[in-house]
Amino acid sequence: MTNAAILSFYDPATGSYSHLIYDHPGGHAAIVDPVLGYDAASGRTAATGADRLLATLAEQRLTLAWILETHAHADHLSAAAYLKRHAGGRTGIGARITEVQRHFGRVFAMEAALAEQSFDVLFEDGERFRIGTLDVEVIALPGHTTADVGYRVGDAVFVGDTLFMPDLGSARCDFPGGDAATLYRSAQRLLALPDDTRLFLCHDYPPPERAPCPVVTVAEQRSANLHLNERVDEAGFVALRRARDATLHTPALLWPALQVNIRAGELPPPDANGVCYLKIPLNLM
């Protein structure tokens, strides 16, 4: 097996990382967690970040085999459908996305749409697939949501919203289906990997004194993660996580993001006048 080439792309508007993984120039690629820009005030989407990914695919003469999501993001819209339309590839996410789709399908009254617009492949824990010559293993990492998964490629794992940079700690666990004790156990699976395993993050929200960073080793997380270092036990983590979650606001793009992301990044079909609309459920939170 060859070593994966990995390029990380930062979206400063949402603090999100998208990652491009490929086997060799001219070979096959996967994109993890692509971002579609969205301006809530004007209702405009922007494919600037996705176009940068497409340009890199072209430069390296790559065939896009997979568009992978670590979970249904609540803070940004996914560019999965946009990328699929422009570069092909199959969309994939953890199998428990069906639980998230069922819940939010009811919230948005869009169960029928989900039958038409969903992911191509739903991965079970431990499932393996290939990106060209690269072998990928799916690791279920529930806690932030029920459906979170990581993707392990050699010594790299794309961990989604499980661990953040050591100075930030961990992802919130207060969304429907989220659970701090479950996140703690998922994090232990990652922290049990070899010391020099590289964990590629889904987000970074750096303090002013440092630049955003896409990757950190297991050893660094075990020794220094604010919430999940080796000195914190499950009860300690759960208490700390619940106290912090009680102070967090609803993400600004929660409703736009979820209704697009549970349909694999497809925008809602246009109304009779040809315009697409997003729904905001009133007084439901």
Q: Is 161 in the site for Fe ion (CB under 5 A)?
A: yes
In the bound complex, what is the minimum distance in angstroms from residue 43's beta carbon to Fe ion? 22
Burial of 126 (0-12, 13-18, 19+ CB in 10 A): exposed
Select from 123-131, 159-167, 215-223, 262-270 the region that touches Fe ion (CB under 5 A). Answer: 159-167
* Minimum CB distance to Fe ion, residue 53 (Å): 19
CB of 271 to Fe ion, least distance (A): 29
User: Secondary structure of the chain: what % helix, strand, coil (to 5)?
Assistant: 25, 25, 45
Contact 279, 105 (CB under 8 A): no
The residue among 10, 65, 15, 21 whose CA lies nearest residue 198 is 21
Between 28 and 76, name the residue whose CB sits nearer to Fe ion.
76
For Fe ion, the closer of residues 73 and 198 by Cβ is 73
- Residue 40, exposed/middle/buried by CB under 10 A (0-12, 13-18, 19+)? exposed
Q: Which is nearer to Fe ion, 57 or 257 (CB)?
A: 257
Taking the complex as a whole, the smallest distance from the CB of residue 37 to Fe ion amounts, in Å, to: 17
Burial 219-255 (b: 16+ CB within 10 A, else e): ebbbeebebbbeebeeeebbebbeebeeeeeebebbb
Q: Which stretch binds Fe ion (CB under 5 A): 4-12, 56-64, 132-140, 154-162?
A: 154-162
- List, as one string, the DSSP characters of 170-210: B----STT--HHHHHHHHHHHHTS-TT-EEEESB----TTS
Minimum Å gap between C-beta 108 and Fe ion is: 18
Q: How far is the CB of 187 from Fe ion (least distance, A)?
A: 15
In contact, 45 and 54? CB cutoff 8 Å: no
To the nearest whole angstrom, how small is the minimum distance from the Cβ of residue 160 to Fe ion? Answer: 7
User: Considering the complex, what minimum distance in angstroms separates the CB of residue 74 from Fe ion?
Assistant: 6
Q: How many residues bind Fe ion (CB under 5 A)?
A: 2
Ranked by CB distance to Fe ion, the top (closest) residue is 161
How far is 281 from 10, CA to CA, in rounded Å?
30
Interface map 37-76 toward Fe ion (x if CB under 5 A)? ------------------------------------x---
Three-state secondary structure call for residue 274: coil
Site for Fe ion in 92-131 (CB under 5 A): none
The mark string for 70-99 relative to Fe ion (x by CB under 5 A, - otherwise) is: ---x--------------------------
Decide whether 35 or 50 has the Cβ nearer to Fe ion.
35
Q: Which is nearer to Fe ion, 161 or 179 (CB)?
A: 161
* Smaller CB separation from Fe ion, 73 or 84: 73
- Could you list the residues that contact Fe ion (CB under 5 A)? 73, 161
